[in-house]
Structure 1
Amino acid sequence: MKNSTQKKASLPTKLYCNLFGHSYEVTKQVTYHVKEYKCKHCNRELTTYSNGNLVELTPKFKEINSILNRIHSSKQERLKRRTYSEPSFQ
Structure 2
Amino acid sequence: MNPNIARHNVLFEKAFCRFFGHKFKTTRKITDHFKEFECKVCHRCATNDILGNKIHLSEEMKDINKALNQLYERRQIAL
Question: TM above 0.5, one fold?
Answer: yes
Task: Give % identity.
Answer: 36
Question: What is the rounded CA distance, in whole Å, between the counterparts of 2:53 and 2:16 in structure 1?
Answer: 23
Q: Which moved more, 1:41-50 or 1:9-18?
A: 9-18
Q: TM-score, normalised by structure 2?
A: 0.83
Question: What is the rounded CA distance, in whole Å, between the counterparts of 1:72 and 1:12 in structure 2?
Answer: 39
* Structure with higher helix content: 2
What is the letter of the counterpart of residue 67 of structure 2?
I
Question: What is the rounded CA distance, in whole Å, between the counterparts of 1:53 and 1:12 in structure 2?
Answer: 25
Q: String of CA shifts for 1:64-86, please: whole Å, max 9, x gaps.
A: 0000000000110111xxxxxxx
- Whether 2:18 is the aligned partner of 1:18: answer yes
- Unpaired runs of 5+ in structure 2? 1-6
Please report how far the alpha carbon of residue 20 of structure 1 lies from its aligned counterpart in structure 2 after TM superposition.
1.6
The structure, 1 or 2, with the larger RCO (C-alpha pairs under 8 Å, 6+ apart) is 1
After TM superposition, the runs of 4+ consecutive aligned structure 1 residues lying more than 2 A away are none
Choose 1 or 2 for highest CA Rg.
1
Q: TM-score, normalised by structure 1?
A: 0.74
